[in-house]
């Protein structure tokens, strides 16, 4: 997730762009940059036609970098684009920051989204002599545009692109696979700004003798409340006095602008009351993006549509041959992390043991680092960390490295310390997580752990080809199933409104469901401050049942049909002692109807994978209880998002 803004109008563009960009810092903040068409430039001058300034770190560093030039009037231009980045391809650096330009500096581009076929396009451009400067997927767009703009487009539905920037953008977008919102400027057209979107959001702000583009409404609210929400595959050309909208076929469309009457803070949250709720709702996309980055599909014979998934590839981040050798030699998996990431590791243990038949240990990093752990060079050490900066996790990683283990990191932050110090890195493409209680980072960590477990299982011959492909198809369905749960969230809200005053809550489950219940309980503790614990259901009778009375709520997670009966017995035991009961289940046969006060249905499938979906109702339950109890779900008391000290 990144933030883009663009301006065309009567004012100097740079201060407006920087000001607007700051409103989008919640979308990414590891580097930023601007590009403006230089109003002093002409064919005979030696000046840059498009002035580009970029900087690693928060927007304030970019501001500091350009301050002196701005005062001197050295960055003057009335048309420009700017970007705040959350790295996905290439570490945060000045070079990888957007905007990106073609080799001649004629065209500049900002991009939000992921170009899935960038490797293919890069090779195609390199074979035509293009030299790349950055490691980003976005740079291919700048070069592709320049190629079409100077050479013409072959084989795309747009006959004459030479010298026509609009036609070049239209042709280029037909070559791009993935998600994108693009802002494009061209030195030969100093009166306009072009934009296009697919999947990633983009809005157009309509001002008086000025117009804007932005990834989100807050960026323009200071200047205008009249906006167009650009629809899927639409393009637009902005001039200072008007905006032309076009559909996917480059035909003009006309519609009325939308008047925004929300305040800035609710606009930043995309209309959701809190970042936590917004991030819970972002899970289908985050899960889709994380899987898509590694899923190899067979192109179906008809129409070139994506076919069934056949493999997983980590080759963007990883040298395949070394990685495969490590998988073959692995004797044991050791997973280490803290907090939510540790809970993901517990699920990972079940996944590696089931799908790859490899013994797996999972450890809390703060314990691991002081235990003088037994490690060997054939142990694969997996470190899981949303931030990539947690002190205990880093110490555990360094210890494992010093003992010769191979390190795989799963992290959400490109360029983080964990990512730099590991042998291999798999990124969760969740985008920035603002709410302290982790939601989309957890489910995307699970997605990565499942992908790795299946990859190990397939490479080591534990999973047959047919079984591997079946499981990949199941994984592919997870994102839609997550959406289905979110579409039916009112049941959970109703249940929360009846139960938010309970004094003791227990989550129970068996196998994968027991692992996922740890994170479910954590969400409730963090956000509602209700006392909540998670137990393997079979352990209830060995102690915890002594606590059960009429003030207790027991929430069971049940996604494995062969264990329904056993779990139902556990629920009956607590119900007969006065507890209120709810089950989160994929069962559709009514197995829990008689013993549960409430049944939350989640979609069914391969239970070892679908179990991860059970956490979504639990996240929602925690969120609603938090709000009902008058807490701030985004900033739970006493907690920090990233713990970089011991």
- Asked if residue 80 lies in contact with residue 18, where contact means CB atoms within 8 angstroms, the answer is no
- What's the CA gap between 117 and 316, in Å, rounded? 11
Residue numbers 621-640 binding ligand G6P by CB under 6 A: 639-640
- What's the CA gap between 319 and 115, in Å, rounded? 21
- What's the CA gap between 196 and 225, in Å, rounded? 21
Residue numbers 88-127 binding ligand G6P by CB under 6 A: none
- What's the CA gap between 536 and 68, in Å, rounded? 62
What is the total count of residues that contact ligand G6P (CB under 6 A)?
16
Residue numbers 305-344 binding ligand G6P by CB under 6 A: 338-341
In the complex, minimum distance from the CB of residue 435 to ligand G6P, in angstroms, rounded to a whole number: 9
Residue numbers 428-487 binding ligand G6P by CB under 6 A: 436, 438
In the complex, minimum distance from the CB of residue 96 to ligand G6P, in angstroms, rounded to a whole number: 22
Q: Residue 366 or residue 499: which is nearer to ligand G6P going by CB?
A: 366
Q: Residue 240 or residue 390: which is nearer to ligand G6P going by CB?
A: 390
The encoded tokens of residue 51 equal: 């002035």
In the complex, minimum distance from the CB of residue 525 to ligand G6P, in angstroms, rounded to a whole number: 11
List the catalytic residue out of 2, 195, 532, 625.
Answer: 2
Cβ neighbours of residue 132 closer than 8 Å, sequence gap 6 or more: 122, 125, 126, 139, 140, 143
Q: Residue 341 or residue 492: which is nearer to ligand G6P going by CB?
A: 341
Q: Is 32 in the site for ligand G6P (CB under 6 A)?
A: no
Q: What are phi and psi of 407, to 5 degrees?
A: -115, 125
Q: Is 641 in the site for ligand G6P (CB under 6 A)?
A: yes
- Asked if residue 426 lies in contact with residue 388, where contact means CB atoms within 8 angstroms, the answer is no
Q: Residue 437 or residue 485: which is nearer to ligand G6P going by CB?
A: 437
Q: Is 644 in the site for ligand G6P (CB under 6 A)?
A: no
Considering only CA atoms, which of 239, 264, 199 is closest in space to residue 26? Answer: 264
641 is catalytic: yes
525 is catalytic: no
- What's the CA gap between 240 and 9, in Å, rounded? 4
Q: Residue 113 or residue 339: which is nearer to ligand G6P going by CB?
A: 339
Q: Residue 339 or residue 348: which is nearer to ligand G6P going by CB?
A: 339
The DSSP line for 423-444 is SEEEE-------SSS-SHHHHH
The residue number whose beta carbon is nearest to ligand G6P equals: 339
- Asked if residue 118 lies in contact with residue 140, where contact means CB atoms within 8 angstroms, the answer is yes
Q: Is 420 in the site for ligand G6P (CB under 6 A)?
A: no
If 0-12 CB within 10 Å is exposed, 13-18 middle and 19+ buried, where does residue 372 land?
exposed
In the complex, minimum distance from the CB of residue 137 to ligand G6P, in angstroms, rounded to a whole number: 25
The count of C-alpha atoms lying within 13 angstroms of the C-alpha of 106, restricted to the half-sphere facing its C-beta, is 18
Residue 619 CB coordination number (10 Å): 27
List the catalytic residue out of 308, 325, 498, 641.
Answer: 641
Considering only CA atoms, which of 165, 192, 237 is closest in space to residue 78? Answer: 192
- What's the CA gap between 278 and 479, in Å, rounded? 16
In the complex, minimum distance from the CB of residue 342 to ligand G6P, in angstroms, rounded to a whole number: 7
Cβ neighbours of residue 632 closer than 8 Å, sequence gap 6 or more: 274, 626
In the complex, minimum distance from the CB of residue 521 to ligand G6P, in angstroms, rounded to a whole number: 14
In the complex, minimum distance from the CB of residue 602 to ligand G6P, in angstroms, rounded to a whole number: 23
Q: Residue 342 or residue 512: which is nearer to ligand G6P going by CB?
A: 342
Cβ neighbours of residue 241 closer than 8 Å, sequence gap 6 or more: 209
Q: Is 642 in the site for ligand G6P (CB under 6 A)?
A: yes
- Asked if residue 297 lies in contact with residue 307, where contact means CB atoms within 8 angstroms, the answer is yes
Residue numbers 375-404 binding ligand G6P by CB under 6 A: 385-387, 390, 393
Q: Residue 577 or residue 635: which is nearer to ligand G6P going by CB?
A: 635
Q: Which of 58, 536, 547, 643 binds ligand G6P (CB under 6 A)?
A: 643
In the complex, minimum distance from the CB of residue 555 to ligand G6P, in angstroms, rounded to a whole number: 21
The catalytic residues are 2, 641
What are the residues binding ligand G6P (CB under 6 A)? Answer: 338-341, 385-387, 390, 393, 436, 438, 639-643
């Amino acid at each position: 997730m990144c933030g883009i803004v663009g301006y065309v109008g009567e004012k100097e563009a740079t201060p407006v762009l920087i000001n607007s960009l700051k409103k989008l810092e919640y979308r990414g903040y590891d580097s930023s940059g601007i590009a403006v068409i230089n109003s002093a430039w002409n064919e005979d001058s030696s000046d840059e036609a498009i002035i580009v300034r970029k900087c690693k770190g928060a927007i304030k560093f970019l501001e500091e970098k350009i301050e002196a030039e701005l005062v001197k009037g050295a960055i003057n231009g009335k048309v420009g684009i700017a970007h705040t980045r959350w790295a996905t391809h290439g570490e945060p650096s000045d070079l990888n920051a957007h905007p990106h330009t073609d080799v001649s500096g004629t065209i500049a581009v900002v991009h939000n989204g992921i170009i899935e076929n960038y490797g293919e396009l890069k090779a195609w451009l390199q074979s035509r002599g293009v030299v790349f400067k950055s490691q980003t997927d976005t740079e291919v767009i700048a070069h592709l545009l320049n190629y079409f703009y100077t050479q013409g487009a072959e084989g795309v539905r747009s006959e004459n692109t030479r010298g026509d920037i609009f036609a070049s953008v239209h042709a280029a977008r037909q070559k791009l696979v993935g998600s994108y919102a693009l802002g494009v400027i061209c030195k030969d057209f100093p009166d306009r700004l072009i934009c296009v979107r697919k999947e990633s959001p983009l809005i157009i702000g309509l001002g008086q003798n000025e117009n804007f583009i932005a990834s989100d409404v807050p960026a323009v609210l200071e200047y205008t409340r009249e906006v167009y929400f650009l629809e899927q595959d639409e393009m637009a050309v902005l001039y200072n006095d008007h905006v032309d909208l076009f559909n996917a076929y480059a035909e003009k469309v006309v519609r009325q602008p939308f008047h925004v009457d929300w305040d800035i803070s609710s606009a930043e949250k995309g209309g959701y009351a809190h970042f936590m709720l917004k991030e819970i709702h972002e899970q289908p996309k985050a899960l889709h993006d994380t899987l898509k980055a590694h899923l190899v599909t067979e192109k179906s014979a008809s129409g070139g549509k994506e076919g069934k998934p056949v493999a997983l590839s980590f080759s963007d981040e990883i040298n395949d041959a070394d990685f495969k050798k490590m998988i073959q030699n692995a004797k044991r998996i050791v997973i280490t992390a803290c907090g939510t990431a540790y809970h993901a590791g517990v699920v990972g243990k079940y996944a590696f043991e089931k799908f790859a038949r490899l013994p797996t240990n999972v450890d809390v990093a703060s314990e691991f680092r002081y235990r003088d752990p037994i490690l060997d060079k054939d142990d694969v050490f997996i470190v899981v960390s949303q931030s990539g900066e947690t002190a205990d996790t880093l110490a555990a990683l360094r210890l494992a490295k010093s003992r010769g283990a191979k390190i795989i990191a799963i992290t959400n932050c490109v360029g983080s310390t964990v990512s730099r110090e590991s042998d291999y890195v798999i990124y969760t493409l969740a985008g920035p997580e603002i709410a302290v209680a982790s939601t989309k980072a957890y489910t995307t960590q699970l997605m990565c752990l499942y992908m790795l477990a299946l990859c190990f299982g397939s490479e080591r011959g534990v999973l047959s080809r047919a079984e591997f492909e079946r499981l990949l198809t199941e994984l592919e369905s997870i994102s839609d199933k997550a959406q289905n749960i979110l579409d039916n969230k009112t049941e959970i809200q109703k249940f929360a409104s009846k139960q938010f005053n309970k004094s003791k809550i227990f989550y129970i489950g068996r196998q994968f469901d027991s692992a996922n219940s740890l994170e479910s309980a954590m969400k409730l503790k963090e956000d509602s401050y209700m006392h909540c614990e998670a137990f393997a259901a079979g352990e209830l009778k060995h102690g915890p049942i002594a606590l059960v009375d009429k003030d207790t709520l027991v929430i069971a997670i049940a996604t494995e049909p062969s264990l329904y009966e056993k779990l139902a017995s556990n629920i009956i035991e607590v119900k007969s002692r006065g507890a209120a009961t709810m089950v989160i289940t994929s069962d559709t046969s009514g197995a829990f109807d008689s013993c549960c006060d409430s049944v939350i249905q989640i979609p069914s499938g391969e239970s070892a994978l679908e179990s991860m979906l059970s956490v979504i109702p639990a996240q929602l339950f925690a969120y609603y209880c938090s709000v009902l109890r008058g807490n701030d779900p985004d900033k739970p008391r006493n907690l920090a998002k990233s713990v970089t000290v011991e």
